[in-house]
Amino acid sequence: MACIFVVSNERNQISKYKNTMIMKYSKLLLVACLGISLLMTACKKDDDVMLENDDVIVGLWDVHSVYADAYVSGFKIENIAVKSEGTLEFRSDFTGVADFTLEFMGELEEARGKFSWKREGFELIVSMGDDEIRYAVIDDQPDLQNLQYTEKEEDSDDEVELTFQLLRLK
């Protein structure tokens, strides 16, 4: 019987040692989790931080010139001058204001009002009301922007490719 008691006593000591170690590691793990959670929290909300938009297109631009290439019935008509007048303003908060007119083949088109914009690679996407226009950025310089837009007729293969040349005003 003494032998059983000694083995049983050793098992109890080993079991107590394991329990003590588990408790120590549990406490250590708990303290580490609390420490990490304290480090991960901030005094101010991240939503309040505004990312700085340093895109070169931010600013006021003169719609200096617009040229069109038309594809009609399989024929290409190049460098059709489009009379343009007005400005485009791209703001750093990804909004902007359009205030320009285009006269193309006797028709006057106006673009006036607020819009939102974003960049996706070499595309500039401008949303105004329900309309979204995707411009290919041809030249992306601090004082010169060339943007290209293709308008395709829904019921034919005819299309017009417009190239806008924008010059920085400020």
Domain shared by 8 and 84, yes or no:
no
Domain shared by 39 and 67, yes or no:
no
Q: Residue 9 has what pLDDT?
A: 52
Domain shared by 89 and 20, yes or no:
no
Domain shared by 101 and 122, yes or no:
yes
pLDDT(161) > 80: yes
Residue 134 domain boundaries: 59-168
| pLDDT tens by residue, 107-137 | 888 889 999 999 998 999 999 888 898 999 9
Q: How far is CA 113 from CA 3, 51, 98, 124, in A?
A: 95, 25, 5, 18
Mention every residue, 6+ apart, whose C-beta is less than 8 A from residue 68.
Answer: 79, 80, 82, 104, 160, 161, 162, 163
DSSP 46: G
Q: Return mean pLDDT, the chain.
A: 76
Domain shared by 156 and 83, yes or no:
yes
DSSP code string of 99-147: EEEEEETTEEEEEEEEEEEEEETTEEEEEETTEEEEEEEEEE-SSEEEE
Domain shared by 44 and 78, yes or no:
no
Mean pLDDT in residue range 16-25? 52
Domain shared by 85 and 26, yes or no:
no
CATH of the domain at 138: 2.40.128
Domain shared by 20 and 64, yes or no:
no
What tokens appear for 42 in the block? 């901030």
Report the distance separating Cα 129 and Cα 98, nearest Å. 12
If one compares 67 and 27, the residue with the highest pLDDT of the two is: 67
Provide, rounded to the nearest whole percent, the portion of the chain with pLDDT above 70: 68
Domain count, the chain: 2
Domain shared by 81 and 39, yes or no:
no
Long-range pairs, 47-56, Cβ under 8 A, ≥24: 50/93, 52/92, 53/92, 53/93, 53/94, 54/92, 55/90, 55/92, 55/119, 56/140, 56/141, 56/142, 56/145
**Is 53 part of any domain?**
no
If one compares 32 and 150, the residue with the highest pLDDT of the two is: 150
**Is 87 part of any domain?**
yes
Q: Residue 43 has what pLDDT?
A: 54
pLDDT(151) > 70: yes
**Is 54 part of any domain?**
no
Q: With beta carbons less than 8 A apart as the criterion, state whether 103 and 85 touch.
A: no
Domain shared by 65 and 93, yes or no:
yes
Domain shared by 86 and 125, yes or no:
yes
Q: Residue 111 has what pLDDT?
A: 87
| pLDDT tens by residue, 71-108 | 888 788 888 888 889 999 999 999 999 998 888 778 88
